[in-house]
Amino acid sequence: MQMHAAALSVYHAAKIYDMSQTDTSITQEAVGAAANSAKFLAAEAAYNATQRSILAHGGMGFAAEFDVERYHRESWVPRLAPISREMIMNYISERVLKFPKSY
């Protein structure tokens, strides 16, 4: 379910970006909010999927023959780079929810 939600969020962000190229009523903040939300959801879905895969494989989840541990290690990259989950949450809270800066 998370993977499907992440994919739909990515498609929505791409659609908003494409529409913003021709429609001037779509703000860059709307594009940024959609893109940041999509990155957040996709990174979390990938991490959770690989974590469950390791649990399903049991002790063999860390065996080099299955590459499950490598996928799990690689699923950390979108959560950290180029911006972290906390930076995304700060962007959404400030720009979308209009909360004051928390840092």
pLDDT by position in tens, the chain (length 103): 999 999 999 999 999 999 999 999 999 999 999 999 999 999 999 999 999 999 999 888 888 888 898 999 999 998 888 889 999 999 999 999 999 987 7
CA 7 to chain centre: 10
Q: pTM of the predicted model, to two decimals?
A: 0.86
Q: Let me know if residue 102 belongs to a domain.
A: no
Exposure letters 66-94 (e unless 16+ CB within 10 A, then b): eebbeebeebeebbeeeeebeebebbbee
Q: Let me know if residue 34 belongs to a domain.
A: yes
Q: Let me know if residue 23 belongs to a domain.
A: yes
Q: Let me know if residue 65 belongs to a domain.
A: yes
Residues 6+ positions from 71 with CB-CB distance below 8 Å = 50, 53
Q: Let me know if residue 101 belongs to a domain.
A: no
Q: What's the alpha-carbon Rg for the chain, to the nearest Å?
A: 17
- What's the pLDDT score for residue 7? 97
- What's the pLDDT score for residue 38? 96
- What's the pLDDT score for residue 103? 72
Expressed in percent and rounded to 5, the helix, strand and coil fractions of the chain are 75, 0, 25
Q: Let me know if residue 103 belongs to a domain.
A: no
Which amino acid, one-letter code, is at 57? Answer: H
- What's the pLDDT score for residue 101? 87
Structural domain containing residue 16: 2-96
For Cα atoms 71, 47, 7, give the angle at the middle one, nearest 5 degrees: 105
Count of structural domains, the chain: 1
Which amino acid, one-letter code, is at 37? Answer: S
CATH number of 67's domain: 1.20.140.10
